[in-house]
Structures are given as structure tokens and as C-alpha cells.
Amino acid sequence: MKKLNIGLFGFGVVGEGIYKVLEEKPQLNAVIKKIVIKDPNKPRNAPQDLFSSNPDDILEDDDINVVVELISDADAAYTIIKKSFGKQKHVVSANKKLIADHHQELLELQHANNVSFLYEASVCGSVPIIRNLEEYFDNDLLNYVSGIVNGTTNYILTKMANENQSYQDALSSAQESGFAEADPTADVEGFDAASKISIVTLHAFGKKIKAEEVIRKGITSLQVEDFKYAQEKGATIKLIAKSQIDIKTGEITSTVLPTFVSLHKTIALVNNEYNGVLIGSSLADEQFLYGKGAGRFPTASAVLSDISALKYDYKYAIRKYENTQSGVFNQSGKIRVYIGFKQADDTVFKILDEVEERYQSKDYNHIIGIIDIEKLKNKDIIENDNLSIIAFE
């Protein structure tokens, strides 16, 4: 078991959590040798001589064999990781946007430089989805991976469902409680979840979909009336990220959509900042993983697990990716949806290929029916703030 000398980029909530755990647990045989931060004058809860504002103090130090990247700037992180690989340093990262945007390139670089690149914390915090896909389902024929992968939106939707709050009130509550950023766009518009399902899809099916190719609808259009409908039907609304493969054709449908979830389903019980992921398997049926998806210690837990794995030279095999790299995504198929709206016009009724139900009142309206997945790529439809588009399970 080799000793790990760590260079840490970023000393925010998660970085400080990792530092404290490693200080308290010398049996892990891992020490932080240097920490690179933006502002060297900011007071921090660690010895001052550990800190530097110069990345080369880590990258050019041959004694440092592991880089832990925990910064928010995806472009800067990309540069750091590429340079780390070139210096034969293993890398642990929690930056889901960076990984989703450069996934294949970084995997090829780590292979070329014979180092490990681990990123469990990038997807669901303490929920070990990537390791499970790698270790337990690597030879299984998976049908789908589906779940709640964003704690901010789940907190907001829980407030809207359980306390009858409007979207704006629920968002304010999330911000006051520290579960939503001042600018929550990446979370509430589904960008964060799209990056995560992009990463998961590669490990589940061996095929890479770009985050921008994921069919995505956030939660900002949802109204109190939509939740009333859900309650009448014995359901709730969750933002579900899902990739599902057609076993016969190999085509994958990859979406992030508000979804009606029956209250008797396990995923409906995942509330507030928690995450939950379902793995559908041809051999093992359905498995469920649950835990906190964000925060200092849940995220630090995943990062520490990756650090510990490096002591044994662990790396992602991604065997399915080696077997089949290309994929067909979101090209065919249909989805049953509910569309809620306040003001009706002719275009709304033309969206659906098949209308099953139509409800109109002076305050709120909805239609239910089948839509071709190609139409959900149309930004005039999917990004229309006046339409609540909610998928059925």
C-alpha cells in the first residue's frame, strides 16, 4: 500500500472537510502536502505554509503523486487536470461540468499517461453510483439508469409538493437554507443533471452523449396547479434524469424532465436535498441507491473513497466503452406527457402527436398525450416558460 502525497486545488467547504478527515485519520496513509487557492490572504483553518496561489507548486513537485481538484472554474480545472496527467499524477475530481464536457478526452489522456482519473463525487455526492456501475454491473446488460441527481431541485420540489409553495417561494426557502446558489440556473434549468446523466451513461452503457444533447426541461415553469393534479392522481413531481437503452436497436433515450412519480414508488420517498438512483438490470432486476447528494461531508466522503482507492492503483475499467464507443441518442420513440398552461393558443394543441385528455378552465389548463421525442428537441417547445411539460413514468 503506497503513501499518497496530495496536492489539493481549492479549499472551500469540501476541501476543508477532506483536510480535516486526513488530519484525524493518519491510518489512511495520505497527507496533503500543498493547497493551491485563489486568495492567499484569506484566513483559513490550516497552517499557512500549506497554502500557495501558484499551481506549479503542486504540478512541478515530483513528490506529489495525487492531485485533488475541487474548484468551481471548469476551464481552469481542465488545464490543471491535463497538466497533472502530463506529470504522471493521479487525479480525483468533483467537477461534473468539466468531466461531462471533456469526458472521452480525459479518459484517453489518463490511459496514455498510465494514471488514474476518479470522479465519484461529480455525480451524486455520497451515493456511489459510478463505482457500482464499474464493479457490480460491468458485465450486466443494463436497461436504464434513472433518478434524482440534483439536491437543489429536489429540495424545491419537496417544498412545492408538501407545503403547497409556489416555485419562487420554494426557491427562496432553498437559498435561505443554503441548498440553492444565488444564481440557481445550472440547477433549476436542469444543466447540472444533464452533465451528471451524461457521465453516468458512459459507465452504464459504454456510450457517450454530450450534456447539451440530453433532452432537458427544468422546473422553473412548474405551477401549484401541476402539483394539485399530481396529488389527485396519487403522485408527486420529481426532476428525473434518465438514460434508457433499447436492447434491440441499441438506441439510447437520455432525458432530464419533471416527471410524475407514483407515491408508492421508492423514488417518490426521496425528499429535500437527498438523491436516489435506480439501476434497471436484465439479470438483477432493479437496484436502488440513496443518500445525500451534496454538502461538505457527503461530497468529501466520495472524494476520500476515491483517494483511498488510489492506494491500490484503482482505475475505472469502463469495459463497455472499450467494446462500443459510438451511440445513437434521442432519435426515435415517443413519450407520454402532461402540458400545463394558463393561456391557450393553437400552437399548444399542435405539440402533441396524439391527445388523450384535454382540460380547460378560466385559471389553468392542461392536455395529456403522446409526443415524438424529436419534438422535445425543439427549443421553442422545451424552453417555453409558459408551458409546464411533465413526463409520465
Q: What is the 3-state secondary structure (H, E, C) of the chain?
A: CCCEEEEEECCCHHHHHHHHHHHHCHHHCEEEEEEECCCCCCCCCCCHHHEECCCHHHHCCCCCCEEEECCCCHHHHHHHHHHHHHCCCEEEECCHHHHHHHHHHHHHHHHHCCCCEECCHHHHCCCCHHHHHHHCCCCCCEEEEEEECCHHHHHHHHHHHHHCCCHHHHHHHHHHCCCCCCCCHHHHCCHHHHHHHHHHHHHHHCCCCCHHHCEECCCCCCCHHHHHHHHHCCEEEEEEEEEEECCCCCCEEEEEEEEEEECCCHHHHCCCCEEEEEEEECCCEEEEEEEECCCHHHHHHHHHHHHHHHCCCCCCCCHHHHHCCCCCECCCCEEEEEEEECCCCHHHHHHCCEEEEEECCCCCEEEEEEEECCHHHCHHHHCCCCCEEEEEC
φ/ψ of 232, rounded to 5, equals -60, -30
What's the rounded Cα separation, in Å, for the pair 349 and 367? 8
Q: CA of 376: how far to CAs of 217, 249, 335, 373, in Å?
A: 9, 21, 9, 5
Question: 196 an active-site residue?
Answer: yes
Catalytic residue among 89, 196, 207, 242: 196
φ/ψ of 261, rounded to 5, equals -120, 125
Which residues are designated catalytic?
A: 196
